C-alpha cells in the first residue's frame, strides 16, 4: 500500500466576499491511496479562518498521518482534524468503489439523475451583486443564497428590493447567509426588516458559541434560522444533542469538510431528524474532486430541496471533471471522461 499527498492552490475567478473578508485563493491537499493496483482519491479542503484544523502545522499533521496510515486505524481518532478525516474517508470510499470517481453507484453517478442546487451570490458592491444575480437567474436558478453582513444594511435591503421587484417568492427562493455578522443588539431588528422580502432562511446570524442568545433568536425570529459555523468543532455527541436541544434551530447546514466527513454528518442528520429539524448539504469550497464526492453522497441520502453544491465554477484552475450545472441542477455528463493527473 502507498499513500501520497499533493497540495494545490486554487484561484478564484473573481474576489469573493463574505463578512469574514475577501477570498482570492484557497488550498487543498489531495490524498491518493494505492493498493493492489487500485487507486483511491480524496481531498482535504481547508478554509483559513473557518476550518477548525486551519493551523500552522496542518500539513505536517496530514503527512504524518499518511506515513503512519494503516487500514485498521480509526478515522474517529482524527476528530480534531476534520479536513483530514474527510480526505481519508473519501479516499477510502474511492479505493473500494468500482471506479475511483464513483463512490456511491446511483442514477446520479451514472449521469441519469440530477440534484437541485442554489446559486451563490457573493458580497461586493451593489452593481457586482446585481451582476451575479442577473447571471444566475439567466442560467435558470430558482433558488439564490446571498452573503450578507459586510455592506451597509440599507444597501443589502435595496438589493433584496431589486430582486423581489421582478421575482416573487413563488418564482424565486431566497436564502441568506450572515456568517455570524449580526450582533445580539441588532439581530432581531435586522431579521424583522429582512422578513419583508419573503426570505426562506438565514444561516448563522450570530457568531457561534452564544447558545442562549441564538436560542432566543430562533424562538423570536420571523425568518427560519439555520446553524452553520455553530457545528464546527462540536465533536462530542452529547454536546451535539445539548446544542440542538438548547438552540432549537429550524435547520442545520452540513459541510462535511468542516465537521469531519460523511459519517459525522450523518450523525448530525440523525440527531436533527429526531428533533424534526430540517437540514441540507453544502460544499465548502472544495475542488471538483471533493464536490463530486459530496454530491454523490448527497444524492444517496435523498436530501430534499436545493443543496449548496454550486461551487464548482468558482475557480479558474479547478480540476476538469464531468460535473455539469444547468438550469439550477447539478449532474454528471456521462459522455465526458474522468481524468485527474495526480
Q: Which residues are catalytically annotated?
A: 147, 255
Non-local (6+) Cβ contacts of 131 within 8 A are none
110 CB burial (10 A radius; 0-12, 13-18, 19+): exposed
Instruction: Look up residue 22 and give its three cell numbers.
Output: 475577501
Non-local (6+) Cβ contacts of 16 within 8 A are 22, 23, 24, 122, 314
Non-local (6+) Cβ contacts of 128 within 8 A are 122
| Contact predicate 260/268, CB 8 Å | no
- The C-alpha angle 145, 205, 158, rounded to 5 degrees, equals 55
Taking the alpha carbons of 250, 253, 258, 262 in that order, is the dihedral positive or negative?
positive
Q: Is residue 317 classed as helix, strand or coil in its secondary structure?
A: coil
Amino acid at each position: 500500500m502507498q499513500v501520497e499527498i499533493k497540495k494545490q492552490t486554487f484561484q478564484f475567478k473573481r474576489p469573493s466576499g463574505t463578512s469574514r473578508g475577501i477570498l482570492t485563493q484557497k488550498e487543498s491537499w489531495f490524498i491518493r491511496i494505492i493498493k493492489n493496483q487500485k487507486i483511491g482519491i480524496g481531498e482535504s479542503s481547508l478554509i483559513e479562518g473557518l476550518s477548525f484544523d486551519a493551523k500552522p502545522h496542518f500539513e505536517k499533521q496530514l503527512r504524518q498521518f499518511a506515513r503512519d496510515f494503516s487500514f485498521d486505524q480509526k478515522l474517529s481518532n482524527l476528530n480534531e482534524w476534520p479536513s483530514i478525516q474527510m480526505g481519508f474517508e473519501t479516499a477510502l470510499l474511492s479505493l473500494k468503489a468500482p471506479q475511483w470517481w464513483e463512490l456511491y453507484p446511483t442514477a446520479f453517478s451514472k449521469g441519469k439523475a440530477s440534484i437541485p442546487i442554489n446559486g451563490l451570490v457573493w458580497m461586493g458592491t451593489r452593481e457586482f451583486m446585481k451582476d451575479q444575480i442577473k447571471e444566475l437567474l439567466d442560467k435558470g436558478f430558482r433558488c439564490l443564497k446571498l452573503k450578507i453582513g459586510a455592506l451597509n444594511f440599507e444597501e443589502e435591503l435595496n438589493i433584496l428590493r431589486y430582486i423581489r421587484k421582478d421575482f416573487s417568492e413563488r418564482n424565486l427562493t431566497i436564502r441568506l447567509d450572515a456568517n455570524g455578522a449580526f450582533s445580539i443588539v441588532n439581530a432581531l431588528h435586522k431579521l424583522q426588516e429582512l422578513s419583508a422580502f419573503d426570505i426562506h432562511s438565514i444561516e448563522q446570524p450570530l457568531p457561534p458559541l452564544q447558545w442562549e442568545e441564538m436560542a432566543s433568536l430562533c424562538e423570536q425570529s420571523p425568518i427560519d434560522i439555520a446553524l452553520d459555523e455553530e457545528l464546527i468543532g462540536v465533536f462530542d455527541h452529547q454536546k451535539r444533542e445539548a446544542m440542538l436541544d438548547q438552540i432549537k434551530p429550524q435547520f442545520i447546514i452540513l459541510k462535511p469538510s468542516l465537521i469531519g466527513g460523511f459519517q459525522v454528518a450523518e450523525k448530525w442528520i440523525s440527531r436533527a431528524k429526531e428533533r424534526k429539524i430540517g437540514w441540507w448539504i453544502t460544499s465548502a469550497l472544495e475542488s471538483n474532486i471533493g464536490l463530486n464526492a459530496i454530491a454523490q453522497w448527497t444524492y444517496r441520502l435523498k436530501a430534499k430541496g436545493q443543496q449548496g453544491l454550486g461551487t464548482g465554477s468558482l475557480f479558474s484552475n479547478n480540476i476538469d471533471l464531468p460535473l455539469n450545472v444547468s438550469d439550477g441542477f447539478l449532474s454528471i455528463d456521462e459522455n465526458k471522461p474522468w481524468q485527474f493527473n495526480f
